[in-house]
Amino acid sequence: MSSVTAKQRKAKLAERIYRDTHFTKKEVERLLNIFSRLTKTEKMDRTTFRDFLHDKFDMTDDTMMERVFRIFDKDTDGAINMMEWVTGLSVFLLGTPAELMDFCFKVYDINSDGHISREEIFGFLKNSLVKQPIEEDPDEGAKDLVELIIRMMDADHDGRLSAEDYTEAVQREPLLLEVLGPCMPDPMSKVSFLVTFQEAAHSVGVFFWYT
């Protein structure tokens, strides 16, 4: 595919999808350029995507990076296409509160059954505790935290967290959004990446290598 044809294809894709995102058409085009520089093919594999999360947002947790990859990969084909890249980043970087709650819930709902089970909660918490320099057995500490989270967030008392349970709890206490571990970019790294392609930054002359 020639560079001219590729550029035209990106422009058409940007025109088609930007209204369904929180980006302008020009910002979508720049994100597509970043995509093309990260991968020379039409799709981004999980290794490239995980490297991107690590390099740009300092994400290091393998479990979380894999979960974020799976949420971006909406058609579950094991790779991220250009549309998935843009729509995923729209939520990841600029999502509304409702979009962020939906995103995080899906990250934590490993088997996608519409509930976060005790086993899923335990797995995330144990993974976090193992990395902490504590003397307590991570299994015991995680079990205690599971019960605490269930008590705080399980509004219908069925021993698991539905999307409604989770949403109500986060609306009541926003700090519970990433209660099972960070799966969103921290504010500083988010801003650092946003200024590489947002129109406001480019209008004042900010320039980066992949623009």
The residue to which tokens 């935290």 are assigned: 145
Q: What is the pLDDT of residues 145-203, one digit of tens each?
A: 999 999 999 999 999 999 999 999 999 999 999 999 999 999 999 999 999 998 654 44
The pTM of the full predicted model, rounded to 2 decimals, is 0.88
- For the chain, strand residue ranges (E) read 43-44, 80-81, 115-116, 161-162
Tell which residue, 165, 140, 134, has the closest CA to residue 150.
Answer: 165
In the chain, helix, strand, coil percent, each to 5? 65, 5, 30
Provide the percentage of residues in the chain whose pLDDT is more than 70. 88
Six token digits for residue 198: 């947002």
